[in-house]
A and B are shown apart, each in its own frame.
Chain A
Amino acid sequence: MGTINSAFSIISRALEADQAALSVVANNVANANTPGYTQEIANWEENQPLTVGGISYGQGVSETGAMSLRDSVLVARLDQQNQLASASGTRLTALNSLEALFPPDSGSSSATAGDIGNDLTTFFGSFASLEANPGNISLREEVLSSATTLAGDISNAAASMNAQSAGLGQEAAGVTSQVNSLSTAIAQLNHQIQTSSPAADAGTLEDQRNEDISQLSQLIGINQVKTENNGLSITTTSGQLLVAEGTSFQLSSGVVSGATHFFLGNSDVTAGLAAGGGQLGGYLTAATVDIPSAMAALDQLAYGVSTSVNALNNSGTDLNGVSGTAASPLNVFSEPTQVAGAAAQMSVVMTDPSQIAAAGAGQNAGDNSNAVAMANLANESLFQPVATTSFSLTQNLSSTTPVSGTVTGSALVYDSLGTSYNATVTYTNLGSNSWGYSISLPDALTADTGVAGQVSYNFGAGETVNPGTNLTISGATTGGTATIVAPTITPGEAVGSAGPPPTGYVASLDSALTAAGITGVTVSNTGGVLTIAGATATSGSVIADPVASAATTGTLTFNASGALVSPASDVSGIAFSGLGDGAASLNLTWNLIGSGGASSITQTAAASAQTAQSQNGSAGLSSGQTPTDFYSSFVSTLGATVAGVQAENTAENASVSQLQIQNNALSSVNLNDEASAMATLQTSYQAASQVFNMLNVIITSALNLGVQTAVS
């Protein structure tokens, strides 16, 4: 049977429980705006009932402590999404700075400063203007002025990109101290939580740890692993330990080859961090992927423009009648030695406008053919160097298995304007373990049909007609139309030197036309340009041989075992000049390294792939883009990257918002809820207090045995 004392006990516990619950509410309200605070609710528990004589008597309820409303899975998911959003946000900021270097030109009368697209057009356009009056100094100064603007804008853009890259490296390095501070704090909290609350939610300690992990997620990509006793280990997304329960590992940074790298212990974790996410991932992606990619494109543009323009200017004749030579080049731009760094180093080295070679090779100063060629560069593909080219040969040249007669091998090589040639090596068996070799470079000249009714071929200086020519010409005869195959002539006859009256190859063509009864077709050779006018049709092409250096012929000697004995090293100094497209001399090194112990040159090709082989030629950029096409493509690609990252960031932020809403719905303090709970608890407390008063009256009455005044 219950007593008044037990009733007192129940009601006083109710008062204590209400008081404790009110304290939980007060704590929630006080921390409503505390970052990372998780809403707590009072935990009610029924007291153990008292059983007397087989009858149970309730003992009321107690408040056993506050419980945080937390969803660990949701919190971890939010952290992961924060890593992605933070990475893309940081990368987007960097990309916005990068794209600001290449603003779209509105097309208004005043071009946007630093507009490389406009600079390119103006520069090549200045050569087009020079076509009209090649001797005009003011037009020549315009060429140098526009070249200076172009070089300045490209090198400034490159310098800005380098500065941005360095700035990103410094900002990334600055993140490490925050990461270390947070990982240390998390390790300490791990220790406290494992000590104080190994089996249950640690409340505010847990809140602090989650808040630190959330901040860490903004900085770098991490994975969390729960350990025993409510502990936690944290690794980078690539698996390196940052926190192992109560121990933290410090991230450090240092400069390696000019770039900021990150280390955990002795391990370089830069690549993993770049791919991992967080601010650091964003910084590193921008610094190691986005900016280098843009810089590589700008380098290609600068290299292509500089080398192409220099090569053409050196191949022509300037206003003083001078042509560039290796010793005294007539370079407009500083000649880059490699693609990397070409943009940053781009500058105009020519100061005298009269050195612009508007005239073609061997022409007088009033000629404009080279200015035309340089203006046409605007519509031709840009170039980049080719590192290696291998001659291939399938026949076995060893002395042990000699073949008779001649065999040939070939390789595709490129000149400085990107024209390809099938360089051919012809081997002749000389007996006695020896083979003679001869390297040739047939130059298939492209017909110029720009003027209606005539076809012309521009022979390079000193180029000779190759007997293999297969040009056919059709023209009117008195009886209809006839076609001739252009005659072959003795190799070595120069085409580029003679003028009227017709001599040499021109005379041979004239004779052939006359013999065929073709009238009205005139063949002329002016300044190395073979012109066939009045023909009703031409087909085929003219093949010519550029001037070759002495190094194009020699002997290969094998020993009795079939191994190459001589030459003992690479054949260098092979050069071809006077190319029909006006390109600079093509220099080759024929790599024989690796053939010493081999039985045939076939194996040399394989060795070449592993050994640097020099060639000053070049190949067209992908898809043969013109400078403007290339820049347009560059702008579109960079813009698409920015737009892509922008879209990615927007989506990730939306996802973060959704997850945050879900988490807030569960864990944030709602003041209305708290006000309601407080009102309820206050009412409960008041009710308990009333009961307590009533019990007090009852027990007083009992003690006084009904006398009202004895004890009050």
Chain B
Amino acid sequence: MRVDPTYISNLVNSLDQAQANEEQLTAELSSGVSIISIGQNPVAAGENVLLLNQIQQDDSFTQSSSLVTGQLQVADSTLGSVVSQLTQAISLATSANNGTMNASNVESVANQISGILDEVQSLANSSYQGQYIFGGAQTGTTPFSTSTNTSPSVTTYNGDQDVNYIHTPNGQKIQLNVPGSQIFLGAGPNSVFGALNALVADYSTGTVNTAQAVSDTQALGTALNFVSQQRVTIDNSITQLTAASNAVTSTQTQLTAAQSNLMQADVGQVSTQLSLAATQQTALEDVISQLDQSSNSLFSRMPA
């Protein structure tokens, strides 16, 4: 059988393929990405979408976690101040209850406890980035206000009972707030404002009903313990958030490594392939050049 006399066109096709291969490898080198189009590796392209989704979800949680940790730390710090104030109030009340103070001193204690009451109310009305942190979901309304029309005065909660949670990428729910009423207006002896207002009323006349004052002081002690218990909830949330954030960061690192492994071009490997493709192209060009010269050989060697 005869040989195809148009072998050069076949070689040119091979040259085209070598050229296309070089272009592909050059694109991979310049972009640093091994998969330029989804048709190149469909499975990896689909997997890449899922990996990036998980990485970005983790990244988003890390950022949110940082934001809410700040809020929780403000809440914790605020409750720490409340505990200090209440400890001071208990100390004042205890001294007033021992029967050694005259009326003037008792009234002074009343004023001091009233000042503490104002301070605690101010702390209970703390905000973070413009949002009240102890108002439940009523973040735009001052949570606590006190009416002095009655004796003892009455502190009212204007917020609600809403509790927000943040969800970690693995489905864990972490509590973000404790409604102010739960901290400062607990039932019975757990009410901080109830105990403080009662103590102010106890001492404001200068005459102490010792039994009542001792009872109210004990109630304030109970309320202090209750505040500390609620503070534990917030501390737990901070701990959980830190742990979750660390875990997510670790996962994110692994996922990023997997994604890089999937998508990024191996520069050494691609460079070698590019070098081989260039050599192939040169060889093909040489062959074509040689064959092109020899294709005219018989006619060119015939006498004119």
Interface residues of A (CB under 8 A from B): 95-96, 99-100, 102-107, 117-118, 120-122, 125, 128-129, 131-136, 359, 363-369, 372, 375-376, 378, 450-451, 499-500, 526-527, 628-629, 631-633, 635-643, 646, 657, 660-662, 664-666, 668-673, 675-676, 678-679
Contact = CB atoms under 8 A, between A and B. Distances in A.
B57 A500 contact: no
Contact of B260 (A107, A499, A636, A640): A107
Contact of B56 (A118, A363, A660): A118
B135 interface: yes
B52 A125 contact: no
B29 interface: no
Interface of B: 1-6, 10, 13, 31-33, 35-43, 45-53, 55-57, 59-61, 63-65, 67-68, 71, 129-132, 135-140, 160-167, 171-173, 175-176, 256, 259-260, 263-264, 295-299, 302
A70 B128 CA distance: 90
Given A136-B129, A679-B302, A670 B167 contact: no
Nearest to A662: B4
A106 B45 contact: no
A451 B176 CA distance: 13
Nearest to A526: B161
Contacts of A640: 42-43
A273 B42 CA distance: 29
A642 B2 contact: no
B173 A450 contact: yes
A117 B52 contact: yes
Given A378-B57, A526-B162, A628 B50 contact: yes
B217 to A, nearest CB: 28
Nearest to A101: B38
Given A372-B167, A632-B46, 8 more contacts: A104-B48, A131-B164, A131-B167, A132-B176, A500-B161, A639-B41, A642-B37, A675-B302
Given A99-B38, A366-B137, A366-B140, A105 B4 contact: no
A643 B297 CA distance: 44
A104 B38 contact: yes
A451 B165 contact: yes
A79 B201 CA distance: 107
B43 A636 contact: yes
Contacts of B163: 526
A670 B37 contact: no
A96 B20 CA distance: 15
A629 B160 CA distance: 38
Contact of B162 (A366, A637, A672): A366
Contacts of B60: 121, 125, 128-129
A629 B50 contact: yes
Contacts of A135: 130-131, 139-140
Given A96-B37, A628-B49, A366 B136 contact: yes
Contacts of A633: 46
B33 A636 contact: no
Nearest to A454: B173
A594 B217 CA distance: 80
Given A639-B39, A657-B10, A133 B131 contact: yes
Contacts of A500: 161
Nearest to A131: B166
By secondary structure, the B interface counts as: mixed
Contacts of A641: 39
A628 to B, nearest CB: 4
A567 to B, nearest CB: 45
A99 B39 CA distance: 7
B140 A636 contact: no
Nearest to B161: A526
Contact of A107 (B55, B71, B298): B55
Contacts of A102: 38
A639 B64 contact: no
Contacts of A526: 161-163
A128 B64 contact: yes
Contacts of B32: 106
B137 A120 contact: no
A639 B165 contact: no
Contact of B164 (A104, A366, A375, A628): A366
By secondary structure, the A interface counts as: helix
A221 to B, nearest CB: 24
Nearest to B44: A104
B46 A107 contact: no
Contact of B172 (A132, A450, A661): A450
A364 B160 contact: yes
A106 B52 CA distance: 9
Contacts of A364: 136-139, 160, 162
Closest 6 A/B residue pairs (Cβ): A642-B39, A639-B42, A636-B46, A366-B139, A639-B38, A675-B298
A366 B127 CA distance: 12
A635 B46 contact: yes
24 contacts: A96-B39, A99-B37, A100-B37, A103-B38, A104-B37, A106-B264, A118-B56, A125-B56, A125-B60, A128-B61, A134-B139, A366-B135, A628-B49, A629-B50, A632-B46, A636-B38, A639-B41, A642-B38, A661-B10, A665-B2, A668-B4, A673-B2, A678-B302, A679-B302
Contacts of B299: 671, 675
Contact of B297 (A103, A450, A639, A672): A672
Nearest to B162: A367
B137 A665 contact: no
Nearest to A120: B53
Contacts of B297: 672
B194 to A, nearest CB: 17
Contacts of A661: 4, 10
A629 B47 CA distance: 9
Given A125-B56, A133-B129, A672-B298, A103 B37 contact: yes
A106 B32 CA distance: 9
A107 B259 contact: yes
Contacts of A368: 164-166, 176
B70 to A, nearest CB: 9
A121 B52 CA distance: 8
A367 B63 contact: no
B5 A670 contact: yes
Given A104-B263, A642-B37, A664-B5, A365 B137 contact: yes
B53 A665 contact: no
B37 A131 contact: no
Contacts of B52: 105, 107, 117-118, 121
Contacts of B160: 363-364
Considering residues B60, B140, B256, B298, which has the most beta carbons from chain A within 10 angstroms of its beta carbon?
B60
Given A131-B64, A636-B42, A367 B137 contact: yes
A677 to B, nearest CB: 10
B164 A639 contact: no
Contacts of B175: 451
A646 B48 contact: no
A569 B102 CA distance: 90
A106 B259 CA distance: 9
A527 B162 contact: yes
A665 B38 contact: no
Nearest to B173: A450
Contacts of A107: 48, 51-52, 55, 256, 259-260, 263
A500 B202 CA distance: 30
Nearest to B55: A107
B131 A366 contact: yes
Contacts of B3: 665, 670
A310 to B, nearest CB: 22
A91 B68 CA distance: 52
A642 B39 CA distance: 5
A204 B264 CA distance: 57
Contacts of A679: 302
